Amino acid sequence: MSSFRLMLLFSNSASKVIRGYTLISPKRTLFVTRQDAPVLRCNLARYGQRSSSSVAGTEKGEDSFLKWLLLLIPATTFCLGTWQLKRRKWKLALIHELQSLTASEPIPLPVDPMEIKQLEYRQVKVRGHFDHSKELYVLPRSPVDPEREAREAGRISSSGESGANVITPFYCTDLGITILVNRGYVPKDKIRPETRMKGQVTQDVDLVGVVRLTEQRKPFVPQNNVEANRWHYRDLEAMAKVTGAEEILIDAVLGSTIPGGPIGGQTRVTLRNEHMQYVITWYGLCAATSYMWYAKFIKRIAL
């Protein structure tokens, strides 16, 4: 046996050879001869290769999982952009339908309440006279301007002009019932009836109006103050109870405006339509995340 020994020490991923034949393992110490050293070195090399292959395989598996997981981001944003395109198409069709209804040929106002509920935004015609002693005021309101409202859709602020819509009981002589008519917009200084006496006609008139149904109070909209005659949303049941009219309301069209009175045509048919902004946002995110995914998992491998 040789006069010196080879001592082998093992760490986590490699081993070192120093003087001596003593092989130290976590459990026991082995003694080998000089002739066995080459075989031992060969076995250690194979062990190192297997360990490296195992680590590489684990890392490859993790990269593969991460690769397909991150692909969900551009896929999801693409689906959201496509969904917003469909929503935009639906919204445009709805706006066109409402505009068509408000511009349709007026029909006589039916008496059946169930039939009236199917006619929202449809033009109807009536004949009768107003009861100006029971006017209701819906405020604050700004005059309807479809072009301006389309530009300002989604904005917090809008036109600074403010006033009220005047709702007046209207006795239909041909039907024998009293309904409510939103005569239209008046500025602040014209809310009181005595400031617009010219428009307070008492004779029978022919009116064309758009059927409107009751309105649910939206968040942050104040409650109606019946005692102070300050209304913030259409509550047909409460309005009918106060005035003694039927729960039927129509918005007088612009052509039915009485000179010196409220300005008709205050039906808002411009719906909020911001879907194109959402489409651009989602498709933009899809393009950005798709390129990042390609650069990390495809382009890097190609290089």
Domain ranges within the chain, ordered by starting residue = 7-68, 108-269
- Among 9-13, 122-126, 198-202, which is the least confidently predicted range? 9-13
pLDDT of 284 above 70: yes
pLDDT of 153 above 80: no
pLDDT of 56 above 80: no
Query: Whole-model pTM above 0.75?
Result: no
In this prediction, what percent of the chain has a pLDDT beyond 70?
A: 72
| Closest-CA residue to 139 (of 221, 231, 216, 229) | 231
| Closest-CA residue to 153 (of 269, 71, 288) | 269
**How far is it, in rounded angstroms, from Cα 290 to Cα 301?**
16
- Among 22-26, 179-183, 239-243, 282-286, which is the least confidently predicted range? 22-26
**Amino acid 35: pLDDT:** 57
pLDDT of 300 above 80: no
**Tokens in use for 204?**
């029978």
**Amino acid 103: pLDDT:** 78
pLDDT of 186 above 50: yes
pLDDT of 45 above 90: no
**How far is it, in rounded angstroms, from Cα 149 to Cα 136?**
25
| Closest-CA residue to 119 (of 135, 140, 104) | 104
